[in-house]
Structure 1
Amino acid sequence: MMTGMITRRRMIGISAAAAGMALLPPHADATAEAVTWQGEAMGAQASLVIHHPDRARAERLAEATVAEVRRLERILSLYREDSDLTLLNRQGFLVMPPPEMVDIVRQSWAAWELTGGAFDPTVQPLWELYRRHFSMPGAAEAGPASEAVADGLARVGLDRIACSPDRIDLPLFGSALTLNGIAQGYVTDRVVDLLKAGGIERSMVDMGESRAIGSAPGNRPWRVGLSDPLDSASILKVLYVEDRAVATSSPFGFRFDREGRFSHIIDPRSGATPQRHASVTVVADKAALADALSTAFNLMDTDTIAAAVRTQTDVEAHVLSLQGEWTKFTS
């Protein structure tokens, strides 16, 4: 790995510096002014280093950052029994939902419209269908029966959700949301907002999706290394970013079956798990948008990706083909 480069899908790390302070990476030896924190966040090992001339202020900022991440987890996590998302999925509705839940659903709607329905958090029933099928002994290698897929598809459709500050309703019994395709980016954006409000002018926030504040040490762009989806230790491409977010998705990240024919990126329009590309990386101003688009673009052909990117401002997509060739699309 290249020195000082942020690579995709490593442990969570945040290093931040106020004006006039040197910025060190999260795992470097901290200076006397730095406040450090290590623990677990969003189901991964995490570290936080804040460089600030006022140590008390740095400590408050570190505490606020950790508290905000954990607060958002309690709202958006699919894996916590006590989260608002789990409650919504369990009972089919949520009265007086947290503002963040309403906000992320509305941002999901925008991504759904932009991608022609390729991004759709209501795909969770299909994910559960594939999980149950391939967890059964002697599961058919061809995947779930077409009737079961059709039944799952009947519960999918973000446009059928009723969402307001007062209530969120899922369309049918058995419908469910997964925010895994946007939540990491959403949390990243909230952390960036908090750090900026606390006087941070330079940082790389890596919450599974990355977003840079300002420039890297030496007043240079941050370097983000894009890994080989089949070998995370191998860097295939380097992006240079300032004040931008970067998100990557790949069908090779998780596969239900031993042969790798069925991946976790499920097309909510057909119920299939096509492998059109080896990976897709999106660069955008906000991490939530980059996160959602990187997921959806894996289900779209290159012409449709190019058309979607052209409708945006300052968005670019880097598509790695199954043959190992890169194509870049810019707005």
Structure 2
Amino acid sequence: MNRRRFLGIAAAATGLSLLPARLRAEGVPIRTWRGVALGADACLQFAHPDPAEADRLIGICLEEVARLERVFSLYRPDSALSRLNRESALDAPPADLVRLLAEAVGIGRRTDGAFDPTVQPLWQLYAGHFGRSGADPDGPPAVAVRGALGLVDYRSLRVEPGRVAFARRGMAATLNGIAQGYVTDRVAERLKAEGMGDVLVDMGEIRALGHHPAGRPWTVGLKDHTDEGRTVETLEVADRAVATSGGYGTLFDPAGRFTHLFDPASGGCAWEWLAVTVTAPDATTADALSTALSVVPEDRARTILNRFPGVAARFTRRDGSVIALRA
């Protein structure tokens, strides 16, 4: 899946010109790595005086990403998540799978089911429907949607240290609404453990440790979903995470009526908001909440946000107007 990015790093690019005079004089550049992680554009940025050590740190991060992809990827048949979905149960699961599934179930509970990691049967239904030639542009038949919806229920996912399992055959999980944030957090933790205090990590979602080496907060631009060359707002972040969800990221049909954001209550595709951006203390929470808040109306969004201290959200309506809510 290609994820069109709504978030962009607006002012943290490579180059000595961004460094304060002292660091420029000492020849300390900002190191930047760019690539792909879990199907999303990825980036690391930090200042370091030793190129070899900077390369070692980047290597550690890439090893961590590769390790976690072997756990969470839906596109690798050998991943732990793929095996769980095939077999409906997994004994001795990787600790990261247990940790993230438990977190996903917990956020499902705190959002009254607006976030549900078991919506994968809906994805399979819609992708299969629109992948066929001559597909009905009005979407899958209602009876098929009801059948898939009967397999969606985070409460039927059993998560224990030694075993994870679905209560019913045919259930399946996706962590696409939370895994990028989790990977971002794990990479940030690895760099912090190596003594790095000022880092920008973007592994599909953004986590800022400390400040930009120039002494200011890291700067994150929110890009116009219709024109990625235009920034609609700039956020300054330090020791915070930012994540955005929007149905524009993956469209099933040319008209854009059906997207990858599913309402776990109805089985339909969410149309409440054009985009939702969340800032939170960690990227895992920001990622999951941006997904959950995308499928609920404003009154429910307020109720959910009040359960997450330190979290703020920016909602873009379909007419382009914006509202901001804070816990």
Check whether TM > 0.5: yes
Query: Aligned pair in 2 of structure 1 residues 142, 285: CA closer, same or farther (>3 Å)?
Result: same
Structure 2 segments unaligned to the other structure (5+ residues):
21-26
User: Residues 42 and 70 of structure 1 are in contact (CA less than 8 Å); yes or no, is this contact kept in structure 2?
Assistant: no
Find the aligned partners of 1:36 and 1:222 in 2 and give their Cα distance. 14
What SS is found at the alignment partner of 1:200?
coil
Query: Quick check: 2:241–2:286 contact (8 Å CA) kept in 1?
Result: yes
- The 3-state SS of whatever aligns with 2:119 is helix
Deviation per CA, 1:71-96: give whole Å up to 9, x if none: 00000111112211111111111110
Q: Deviations over 1:266-312 (max 9, x none)?
A: 11111011311110000000101100110111101111111211222
Give me the whole-angstrom Cα distance separating, in 2, the residues matched to 1:223 and 1:38.
17
Between 74-83 and 283-292, report the one with greater CA deviation.
Answer: 74-83
**Alpha-carbon separation, structure 2, partners of 1:242 and 1:111:** 24
- TM-score, normalised via structure 1 length: 0.87
Shift of 1:41: 3.6
Q: Which amino acid aligns with 1:79?
A: Y
**Correspondence for 1:252 among 248, 251, 255:** 248
How much does 1:54 deviate? 5.3
Q: Is the 8 A contact 2:43 2:202 kept in 1?
A: no
What letter corresponds to residue 166 of structure 1 in structure 2?
G
CA offset digits 1:127-176 (Å, max 9, x no partner): 11011111112211221111111110111111111111111111222211
State the one-letter code of the partner of 1:209.
Answer: E
Deviation at 1:236, TM superposition (A): 1.2
CA distance in 2, matches of 1:113, 1:94: 23
Counterpart CA distance in 2 for 1:38 and 1:134 is: 32
**Would you say the 8 A contact 2:6–2:225 is kept in 1?**
no
Shift in alpha-carbon separation, 1:33–1:204, aligned structure 2, 3 A: closer
Structure 2 match to 1:3 = none
> Is the CA contact (8 Å cut-off) linking 1:15 and 1:203 kept in structure 2?
no
| Counterparts in 2 of 1:252 and 1:8: CA distance versus 1, 3 Å | closer
SS, match of residue 121 in structure 2: helix
1:80-91 aligned within 5 A = 80-91=76-87
Instruction: Quote the sequence identity (%).
Output: 43
Root-mean-square deviation (CA, aligned residues, Å) is 2.3
Deviation >4 Å, runs of 4+: 31-40, 44-50, 53-57
- Cα 1:253/1:55, change in 2 over 3 Å: closer
Check if 1:197 corresponds to 2:193.
yes
TM-score by length of 2: 0.88
How many Å separate the matches in 1 of 2:34 and 2:232?
30
- Aligned partner of 2:160 in structure 1 is 164
Q: Which residue of 2 aligns with 1:19?
A: none
Of stretches 303-312 and 185-194 in structure 1, the one that deviates more from structure 2 is 303-312
C-alpha spacing 1:217/1:61, structure 2 compared with 1 (3 Å): closer
Q: How far, CA to CA, are the matches of 2:75 and 2:114 in structure 1?
A: 23
Structure 1 residue runs of 5 or longer lacking an equivalent are 1-6, 17-21, 24-30
Aligned equivalents of 1:60 and 1:252: distance in 2? Answer: 36
Verify: 1:118 aligned to 2:114, yes or no: yes
2:276 to 250, 274, 280: 280
Tell whether 2:38 aligns with 1:42: yes
Aligned counterparts of 2:265 and 2:208: Cα–Cα separation in 1 = 34
SS at match of 2:93: coil
Letter in 1 for 2:77: E
Counterpart for residue 311 of structure 1? 307
Tell me how far 1:45 sits from its aligned partner.
6.0
CA-to-aligned-CA distance 1:107-143 (integer Å, 9 cap, x gap): 1012111211011110000111011111112211221
Equivalent in the alignment of 1:28 = none
Q: What is the alpha-carbon distance in structure 1 between the residues aligned to residue 76 and residue 230 of structure 2?
A: 33
Supply the distance in 2 between the matched residues of 1:132 and 1:286 (Cα, whole angstroms): 34
Q: 1:190 and 1:323 mapped to 2: Cα distance? A: 37
Aligned with residue 104 of structure 2, among 85, 105, 108: 108
Structure 1 residues 45 and 161 mapped into 2: Cα distance closer, same or farther (>3 Å)?
closer
Q: CA contact under 8 A between 2:278 and 2:289: conserved in structure 1?
A: yes
1:283 partner letter: T
